[in-house]
Structure 1
Amino acid sequence: MKVHPHTRFVLPEALNAGEPPEARGVSRDQVKLLVAEGSTVTHTRFDRIGDHLRPGDLLLVNTSTTLAAAVDGTPYTVHFSTSLDDGTWVVELRNGGRPMFDGTAGERVELPEGALTLLAPYHGNRLWIAKPPVDDVLGYLRRHGRPITYDYVGKRWPVASYQTVFARDPGSAEMPSAARPFSFELVSHLASEGVLIAPIVLHCGVSSLESHEPPQPERYDVPAHTARLVNWVKANGGRVIAVGTTAVRAIETAAGSDGTVTPSHGWTDLILSPDRPPHVVDGLITGWHAPEASHLLLLESVAGPEQVQHAYNAAIAHNYLWHEFGDSCLLLR
């Protein structure tokens, strides 16, 4: 099923963030922040996000840790996307930075410590179910992997550049980057102001899907204490603000149509859109997504297409930076 967001824009090449803000002399929490609430747009800085939050608001944060998920082999580089329940992995093959579409079942890619074997296509011809060269893939990636990067990133950065301050559960092929601008100091400041924080887990697969392609199933966990806190906040007039599209997908998977959240874990294939809006989330902290990305539909489901379009127009006009090392946005319903 192809999905088409309403938000339309042309992204100038100069707005691709090719390096972490720290390399530009900007600390994590001092990237630019655009706050969109109704028709109002405010330009500020991320470390001042507390000005737009209230005591009793709840931030949902993803504690997934980013893996060094790219391994160079022969003849391809392998991007390890998602671990499956039977020990196989979903992978993407890359050649010269481009995805490969013509793999065949039984094909082998020579990697350190052995070969990876393609078993069967996974939801199309870009991703494959594969048998890795070893059983302990997380340890293998620590030994041989590097972070997944795309053309707009000019050089390789250490995996520490791809972690958020909340990271503690290894499993994401690419960084759940909406939380990257949080620093320990900012988290402490928000807590002292009465802003609540609760964890979810959603392990991100590779993001290099074709335009309009819906997101793949992802592994998630909404623990009991988070479910209780979300329900308490909603009952007491607070707002639930998801840090990232991953947090939206996880919490909405665990929510009933009446907005009540129950603990759950497993796989989610939930796709949010203006036709299937969230039942729980009142706002979203997010980075800036590429044109035609399916994530734009999720943004539209939270804030409405008009507000998202308004925010993106303002971000381009004010030279906000895109992608995982870029600037940030707070959308409030």
Structure 2
Amino acid sequence: MTVTFELPPALEAREPAAARDGVRLMVSRGTSVSHHRFPELPHLLDPGDLLVVNNSATLPAALLSQGGVRVHVSTEQVDGSWLVELRNADARTGLRLRVPDGEITLLRPYTSRLWVALADVPGDRVSYLQKHGRPIRYSYTDRDWPIETYQNSYATEPGSAEMPSAGRPLTGAVLAALAGRGVLVAPITLHTGVASAEVDEPPYPEWFQVPASTASLIPYVRASGHRVIAVGTTVVRALESSIQAAEGWTDLVIEPDHHLRAVDGLLTGLHEPRASHLKMLTAVAGEATLRVAYAEALRERYLWHEFGDVHLLLR
């Protein structure tokens, strides 16, 4: 992967647009790039195309311990342990952190920055975080935003540590226009962990579900000569993990040479220079497409991160 660039701080989206669908939309078809406003999306797709969205809802997954340590709760593993990240403290095996109504103990490293932890808290992870957590916030944002800011309009299944943000501009008005255009929309669920954009780190296992209704649509759409377009890299991961109805944990890492079985296009945000997601984008569109697109995004001063602009890659 040779798409390299530097992201100027001025291109980091520090706050949401005044309107959710008020962001820009860059469209790549091969090395041809065009620039649009997001409400134009329905007219850039064909009747019969299928948009697959991730209906996972965002949890307030940041906790503040006694002593002021910020704990980001990423995912819950099969054995009930949590994967956590400490943002302003040194982690070590056996470290105990007092959190509201409970305690979190670090057991062992999982990656260079994530730790397996034992959470001695009341209730399950979702209900506990909904009561005691706050949304994860990174330094490029200007202030705290309420959890509603991080929810997609179709989010129904709580579980993600961070918003599957590619779908954030899909407002009710845009979804209605898509339906009027004859574009189909169907859900999957994939609960995202803490993003790995700041390190060269592959995605780790995440829980997903492809419902039977969505799985049955995909071969029908493609056999009819239409496209399956994933809204977000999480959807690509879920659909490429199973094109049949399924649920469970996926550890699939989509490398540039991955042959896509289910996805013909991708609506996504703009990703940081070292983000592992860029490898997936290369599998979707090819390296030449990405080099041209990211040069255009920088030249046209598109905005990055969850409140930023979006990119539609069509094969």
With structure 2 as the length reference, what TM-score do the two structures score? 0.96
Structure 1 gaps of 5+ residues are 255-260
1:258 corresponds to? none
Is residue 9 of structure 1 aligned with residue 9 of structure 2?
no
Measured in 2, the distance between the counterparts of 1:120 and 1:209 equals 22
Measured in 2, the distance between the counterparts of 1:141 and 1:17 equals 26
Measured in 2, the distance between the counterparts of 1:68 and 1:172 equals 9
Give the alignment partner of residue 53 of structure 2, picking from 58, 61, 70. Answer: 61
Task: Compute the displacement of 1:208 (Å).
Answer: 4.0
Instruction: Give the fraction of aligned pairs with identical amino acids, expressed as a percent.
Output: 52
Is residue 304 of structure 1 aligned with residue 286 of structure 2?
yes
Task: Compute the displacement of 1:209 (Å).
Answer: 5.3
Residues 212 and 319 (structure 1), Cα distance of their counterparts in 2 relative to 1, 3 Å cut: same
Is residue 143 of structure 1 aligned with residue 136 of structure 2?
no
Task: Let me know the Cα RMSD of the aligned residues.
Answer: 1.2
1:152 corresponds to? 140
Measured in 1, the distance between the counterparts of 2:297 and 2:186 equals 29
Measured in 1, the distance between the counterparts of 2:262 and 2:130 equals 36
Amino acid at match of 1:53: L
Measured in 1, the distance between the counterparts of 2:232 and 2:275 equals 14
Aligned length: 313
- Within 5 Å, give how 1:169-318 maps onto structure 2: 169-208=157-196, 210-254=198-242, 261-318=243-300
- Within 5 Å, give how 1:17-36 maps onto structure 2: 17-22=13-18, 27-36=19-28
Task: Compute the displacement of 1:10 (Å).
Answer: 1.2
Q: Tell me, yes or no, if the aligned pair for 1:272 and 1:278 is still in contact at 8 Å.
A: no
Paired residue secondary structure (2:266):
strand
With structure 1 as the length reference, what TM-score do the two structures score? 0.91
Measured in 1, the distance between the counterparts of 2:174 and 2:217 equals 21
Measured in 2, the distance between the counterparts of 1:212 and 1:118 equals 23
Task: Compute the displacement of 1:131 (Å).
Answer: 1.7
Task: Compute the displacement of 1:210 (Å).
Answer: 4.5
2:117 corresponds to? 130
Task: Compute the displacement of 1:236 (Å).
Answer: 1.0
Measured in 2, the distance between the counterparts of 1:296 and 1:240 equals 20
Q: Tell me, yes or no, if the aligned pair for 1:111 and 1:133 is still in contact at 8 Å.
A: no
Paired residue secondary structure (2:235):
helix
Structure 2 gaps of 5+ residues are none
Measured in 2, the distance between the counterparts of 1:308 and 1:244 equals 16
Task: Compute the displacement of 1:149 (Å).
Answer: 1.1
